Amino acid sequence: MTDDLTEIPLHGGRVTPGVVRVGNTVRRPVTANSDFVRRLLTHLTGKGFEGSPEFLGADERGRDVFAYIDGDVPAELGYYDEASLRAAASLIRQFHDMSAELVDSHAAASGVEIVCHNDLSPCNFVFRAGTPVAIIDFDAAAPGSRARDLGYAAWLWLDLGSPDISALDQRQRLVTFLEAYGAPSPDPVLEAMLERQVMLAEQGRNIGNDSMAEWAVRCNDWTRQNLQVLRGA
Ligand SMILES: Nc1ncnc2c1ncn2[C@@H]1O[C@H](COP(=O)(O)OP(=O)(O)O)[C@@H](O)[C@H]1O
Ligand SMILES: [Mg+2]
């Protein structure tokens, strides 16, 4: 099966049209950010990181070719226990640390520390036996701060704003997530989270995705209302 050249559409992400699986590879249309993504993934593979797809070159149709990573990618957000939260956070930490070499040392002055993935939702992780083992979908990657990526990741991995999980439980889950990453303080992460929630609401409105916009606003309200508890203050 893996030798044949049948193109299997990969709809999981619902964002990027034209993503297909061909044998043990994934083909993606080239984007304005492709050059940077190729460099990033080649760098990560060169450092021995196994938590991101290897960039394999271009195919005969000019598409980017990446290694297919076996496992399951969730189509929706869900509930992740503390072991999964720890595994995700430590994977993100490894990726961030390895990406730091790609960032211009002069950029540090403007708060740029690492390369942000910019969409670290559980829906962009490959799971095996319930554990996140790899990150995919680096299309939006760009230099940025650790807190920026962590704010968004913590929001979606914890499902912060869900009426089913109390603020006190979320505080504990946030501590677990940030400890596994090795983040010194929740404050910049929460600040970045609030910004990303506002941005996603705006983006939802701009593209006519009202339900996404409304969800982001609800999450932003919940986060602001429970900020003191989340900060442990
Ligand atoms: N390297 C990969 N290994 C395994 N599955 C992948 C890989 N890249 C993409 N996929 C699958 O294709 C789906 C869509 O790809 P993704 O890069 O996440 O695009 P989108 O921008 O649409 O979210 C993913 O949800 C996942 O199921
Ligand atoms: Mg995706």
pLDDT tens-digit series, residues 103-133? 987 777 788 999 999 999 999 999 999 999 9
**Torsion, Cα of 8, 14, 81, 219 (10° steps):** 180
Over the range 77-98, which residues count as b (16 or more CB within 10 Å of their CB) and which as e? beebeeebbbbbbbbbbbbbeb
Q: Are 70 and 1 in contact (CB under 8 A)?
A: no
Summarised one tens digit per residue, pLDDT across range 196-232 is 999 999 999 999 999 999 999 999 999 999 999 999 9
C-alpha distances out from residue 88 to 41, 62, 156, 176, Å: 18, 32, 11, 11
Q: Are 174 and 158 in contact (CB under 8 A)?
A: yes
Report if pTM > 0.75. yes
Say whether 57 sits in a helix, a strand or coil.
strand
Length of the chain: 233
Average pLDDT, the chain: 94
CA end-to-end distance (rounded Å), the chain = 56
**Short-list 61, 50, 54, 60, CA closest to 25:** 54
Please indicate whether residue 14, judged by its CB atom, sits closer than 6 Å to ligand 1.
Answer: yes
Return the DSSP state at 75: S
Tell me the angle at which helices 210-225 and 187-206 cross, rounded to the nearest 10 degrees. 160
Say whether 182 sits in a helix, a strand or coil.
coil
Ligand having the closest approach to the CA of 136: 1
Ligand having the closest approach to the CA of 37: 1
Structure tokens at 135: 């990150």
Q: Are 151 and 157 in contact (CB under 8 A)?
A: no
| Average pLDDT estimate for 61-75 | 96
73 CA from centroid of ligand 1 (Å): 8
Please indicate whether residue 26, judged by its CB atom, sits closer than 6 Å to ligand 1.
Answer: yes
Class for the domain spanning 82-231: alpha beta
Q: Is the pLDDT of residue 1 over 50?
A: no
Q: Residue 162: what are its φ and ψ, rounded to 5°?
A: -65, 130
- pLDDT score at 202: 98
**Ligand 1 atom 1: residue of nearest CA:** 68
60 CA from centroid of ligand 1 (Å): 20
